[in-house]
Amino acid sequence: MFKKVLVAEDLDSISIAVIQVLEDLKIPTIHHVKYCDDGLLRIKKALVENAPYDLVISDLSFKSDHRKTVLSSGEDLIEAINAVQPSLKKIVFSIEDKSYRIKSLFNDLNINAYVSKGRNSINELRKAIEGTFKGEEKILSSDLSFSFNDKTLIEIESYDISILKLLAQGYILENIASEFKSSSITPNGTSSIEKRINKLKIYFKANNNVHLIAIAKDFGLV
């Protein structure tokens, strides 16, 4: 079984249960951080001390408080981890249940398992830890109904998300175009962006931009 595990979870009420599972599994070294920044620090430190972690269990959303942070979400943390220790096994334990977001965790961030916080999630978490140790891939807790084959939301790509994000921040077409130009995201003509928004509106059956953003918010896309 795993020898050294890091838990990144801000809610104490949840971390207690997660740590209990790890103790039940006789993991010798269990560390727990409440902020993403601390998590990355620990992992880097373990690397230089030649005693790296072999599993990380992370939440996705972290409450923001008085403390200034660089990494503000589980996604940020995992991305940072992938830069320093890509071989580290990663399990995400979160309330999120939108298929699009979970798929991108597997595809873009290369996580090993996703467990959705729910009515029977502690069992699921234990199974995911054991499965990850055995080398199983793309483990998904059983209460998640979607499959990796369904095409829903798969064709929404990061380009679309960028547009939606800027729209949600009050940008007008022209601003989005110049923003894209300065970030060298392409295509960046107002017309192309307009067309892409139009596709999104058709896809989500939205009457107008306002409607579109409301739907995007509901889907957790922005």
Query: Which residues 84-143 are close enough to bind a second copy by CB under 8 A?
Result: 93, 95, 97, 117-122, 125, 143
At residue 62, what is the residue type? F
Look at residue 173 and give the partner it binds from DNA, a second copy, none, a contact being a CB closer than 5 to 8 Å depending on partner kind: DNA
User: Among 8, 54, 210, 219, which residue sits at the site for a second copy (rule: CB under 8 A)?
Assistant: 210
Residue 191 binds DNA (CB under 7 A): yes
Residue 217 binds a second copy (CB under 8 A): yes
Residues for the chain: how many in total? 222
Structure tokens at 97: 């249940």
Residues facing residue 116 across a β-bridge? 94
Query: Which residues 154-173 are close enough to bind DNA by CB under 7 A?
Result: 172-173
In the complex, least distance from residue 156 CB atom to DNA, rounded to whole angstroms:
15
Residue 198 binds a second copy (CB under 8 A): no
Residue 197: Cβ within 10 Å count: 20
Please, where are the H alpha helices in the chain?
12-24, 36-48, 74-84, 99-108, 121-134, 158-168, 173-182, 190-203, 209-218
Structure tokens at 121: 């999630």
Tell me the per-residue interface mask from 19 to 58 with a second copy, x by CB under 8 A, - otherwise: -x-------------x------------------------
Look at residue 69 and give the partner it binds from DNA, a second copy, none, a contact being a CB closer than 5 to 8 Å depending on partner kind: none
Query: Any idea what the Cα angle at residue 69 is, between residues 99 and 13, rounded to 5°?
Result: 60
Element housing 114 (H / E): strand 113-116
Cβ proximity of 81 and 37 under 8 Å = no
Task: Return the CA Rg of the chain.
Answer: 19
Residue 3 binds DNA (CB under 7 A): no
Q: Which residues bind DNA (CB under 7 A)?
A: 172-174, 186-192, 194-195, 197-198, 201, 208-210, 212
Q: Which residues bind a second copy (CB under 8 A)?
A: 10-14, 16-18, 20, 34, 63, 65, 93, 95, 97, 117-122, 125, 143, 167-172, 206-211, 213-214, 217-218, 222
